[in-house]
A and B are shown apart, each in its own frame.
Chain A
Amino acid sequence: MFSFIIRRTFSSIPTILILILISFALMRLAPGSPFSSDRGLPPEVLANLEAKYGLNLPWFEQLYTYLKGIIFSFDFGPSFKYKDRSVNDILAQGFPVTLTYGLWSFFIAVAVGIPLGIAAAVRHNTKLDYLAVGFSIGAQVLPNFVMAPILVIIFTLWLNWLPGGGWNGGEWQYVIMPVIALSTSYMASIARITRSSMLEVLSANFIRTAKAKGLANSSIILNHALKPALLPVISYLGPAFVSMITGSVIIDIYFSTGGMGQFFVDAALNRDYSLLMGVTIVFGVMTILFNTIVDIAYAWLDPKIRL
């Protein structure tokens, strides 16, 4: 197991490097300089600006400086648009916000989705099961960008219970709607996957044997059925995390939470390439690390993987 963890962790390093290379190559391939869209700068000024940000150097030197900055001092360089701030400053401001509601959303999606799926499978073809299935089908068409306006209509405009946006240092009233909007569709997917894999496991022979031995229902479910039933759920968590991170952009924009997503979209519209790359790489590294954790968890649950 230990050697598997080591191997899996090291194999994620090339992925991170490839991610950095792809974003760097994209930035280099971009037509024009990031400053050429400014109102017709004189060529000398443009040259000076490019020299200031090191854009006049050959590409391998730029790549070397960039990689060196990231690896040795975790420095993503200066922002092209916000002249007085570095990408690091901006990340340090936005990242905690995104992380706060992101982790809450992930936790709630898992903590509600899995029990709901198990309950639906155990009470197969009862009202509870139909409710869970209905919920998971309905939530397929309620992605975060649909949930967000609906929540605002209900809780802000009609009931006047919650503020329609802002962050305010992460007070709970400001966190609730982003978390619900972001977690609902994943909660539903997790519940659906848990339910169907639990149903499959519950009809397996070893469960029948456990029943024949006279074990209590709760013990059968928790000690025998849960572990194999969770395998498909765990392999879904990786992609779910990726799309949740992507979804956080919508949340940041719609609720004006001031997270990373807002900076990302601003950077995209302003062609602020260094900030774009910084956000992409930070999100990418998070995703890759999370996938590594998921793989390790999978290997822990399923010994067949640990080869």
Chain B
Amino acid sequence: MLVNKKKLAAMVDSASSQTPIEGRSQWQDAMVRFKQNKAALVSVFVLFAMITIAFIGPLLSQWDYETIDWALTGNAAEMGAPSIANGHFFGTDDLGRDLYARVLQGTQISLMVGIIGTVVAVLVGVLYGAVSGYFGGRIDNVMMRFVDILMSIPYMFILIILFVMFGRSVYILFIGLGLFSWMDMARIVRGQTLSLKHKEFIEAAVASGVSDFTIIVRHIVPNLLGIVVVYTSLMIPNLILLESFISFLGLGIQEPLTSWGALISDGAKTIQYGTLWQLAFPLGFFITGLFCFFFIGDGLRDAFDPKDR
């Protein structure tokens, strides 16, 4: 059969002139989908602005978060209202301390608790879940049963007992919250690992004699990153909620440091004196921040797992 040489040459020509189509990774796909989600995008900007204000904002005020303005002490209800004139942009708290500086300081702490606690929880949860899922069998049974037990006790009480006993430094708060929040992550990661471990590339690694630990760290964990990112972003607001909860009870962060929960608690105690700003500003930051985290988390979930919408 004769080949039409002209046609063939034309085909070769056109084929070679076209640039090869670039493959898109899961991450690029996810980014494209994430950018289409307006609520999530706006949240990213608002959150970024909030972080900037929290860390740069204190420089703009003449007051810091622990100095008492003696001119106003004892009379916060009448003279402590928000005003530009005396430099208390958000007013003062009941003791006469500048609320603007305190809210920003509380924002720093709350965001840091959310992020550091989440890092701890993710590290523990991913490793635990990956080990449990990868080894399977009896080890898996025992490890998951332990998680079940941990999840079925009201760990908040144990956590509070721990705080009471070992002092209430900020670091214990960060790490303690993280150490009590990894169980969900461990379950999710285990499930994913179970479905990954029979894939060919893991078998190839086993066959070529790679050690179990290296397989988990180099081959399993990187393939879990998508789902880990999604649940990490949803864990941050939950940890902020937990910390606020404990601080609201007065068992978390210690004076003069503060956090959203402690500020809301202080503001809530004095509402009957008409000092609404003491509640409104912390609450505004709290609600805005949590909304942003939840929207970003939802956006990431939709982006990484489109069928789950």
Q: List the interface of chain A (C-beta within 8 A of B).
A: 14-15, 18-19, 22-23, 26-27, 29-31, 137, 140-143, 145-146, 148-149, 152-153, 157, 164, 238-239, 242-243, 245-247, 249-250, 253-254, 264-265, 268-269, 271, 276, 279-280, 283-284, 287-288, 291
- For the complex, give the distance between the alpha carbons of A65 and B245 in Å: 35
| CB under 8 Å from chain A, chain B span 220-267 | 241, 244-245, 248-251, 261, 264-265, 267
- For the complex, give the distance between the alpha carbons of A283 and B160 in Å: 14
Besides A137-B294, A153-B271, A242-B152, 16 more A-B contacts (Cβ < 8 Å) are A18-B149, A22-B158, A26-B165, A29-B165, A31-B165, A140-B291, A142-B287, A145-B264, A148-B268, A157-B272, A239-B151, A246-B245, A250-B248, A268-B163, A271-B164, A276-B157
With A149-B279, A268-B164 in contact, do A246 and B157 touch (Cβ < 8 Å)?
yes
- For the complex, give the distance between the alpha carbons of A280 and B151 in Å: 14
B162 contacts A by Cβ under 8 Å: yes
Q: Are A145 and B165 in contact (CB under 8 A)?
A: no
Q: Are A145 and B153 in contact (CB under 8 A)?
A: no
User: Nearest chain A CB to B278's CB is how many angstroms away?
Assistant: 10
Q: Which residues from chain A contact B23 at a C-beta distance below 8 Å?
A: none
Q: Are A145 and B271 in contact (CB under 8 A)?
A: no
| CB under 8 Å from chain A, chain B span 139-158 | 148-149, 151-154, 156-158
B79 contacts A by Cβ under 8 Å: no
B173 contacts A by Cβ under 8 Å: no
B292's nearest neighbour on chain A, judged by CB, is A141
- For the complex, give the distance between the alpha carbons of A146 and B285 in Å: 12
Q: Which residues from chain B contact A23 at a C-beta distance below 8 Å?
A: 158, 161
User: Nearest chain A CB to B236's CB is how many angstroms away?
Assistant: 13
| Cross-chain pair count, CB within 8 angstroms | 110
Q: List the interface of chain B (C-beta within 8 A of A).
A: 148-149, 151-154, 156-158, 160-166, 241, 244-245, 248-251, 261, 264-265, 267-268, 271-272, 276, 279, 283, 286-287, 290-291, 294
Q: Which residues from chain A contact B265 at a C-beta distance below 8 Å?
A: 145
A-B contact pairs, 19 of them (CB 8 A): A15-B152, A18-B153, A26-B161, A141-B290, A145-B244, A145-B248, A145-B261, A149-B264, A153-B276, A153-B279, A164-B272, A242-B151, A246-B245, A250-B249, A254-B268, A269-B251, A283-B157, A284-B153, A287-B153
Q: Are B154 and A250 in contact (CB under 8 A)?
A: no
Q: Which residues from chain A contact B151 at a C-beta distance below 8 Å?
A: 239, 242
With A246-B245, A265-B250, A268-B160 in contact, do A288 and B267 touch (Cβ < 8 Å)?
no
